[in-house]
Amino acid sequence: KKDAFKKTLEPYLETYGKDMLNDFYRHWSEANKSGTKLKWEMQTTWEIKLRLIRWDKNSEKYNK
């Protein structure tokens, strides 16, 4: 599962860079207590492009 999720981030490498995508991946690939689902799978809605846009904006705000 984690490898498949990582592959979905590859098209955004040039736009957001390796460091940001690694942070995003580490956050959203966290497994639940039973290890059956990843954090991103437990969201009611998920559109990776929109999540990355939000992550980028938040990182600018919190990394000053």
Note the pLDDT tens digit of each residue in 11-59: 999 999 999 999 999 999 999 999 999 999 999 999 999 999 999 999 8
pLDDT band, very low/low/confident/very high, at 64 (cuts 50, 70, 90): low
- The answer, yes or no, to whether residue 62 has pLDDT greater than 80, is no
Query: What residues form DSSP beta bridges with 57?
Result: none
Residue 40 contacts residue 50 (beta carbons within 8 Å): no
pLDDT at 43: 95
pLDDT at 48: 95
Query: Per the structure block, which two tokens stand in for 46?
Result: 């998920």
| DSSP H helices in 1-64 | 2-9, 13-16, 18-28, 48-62
Q: Give the SS3 label for residue 29.
A: coil
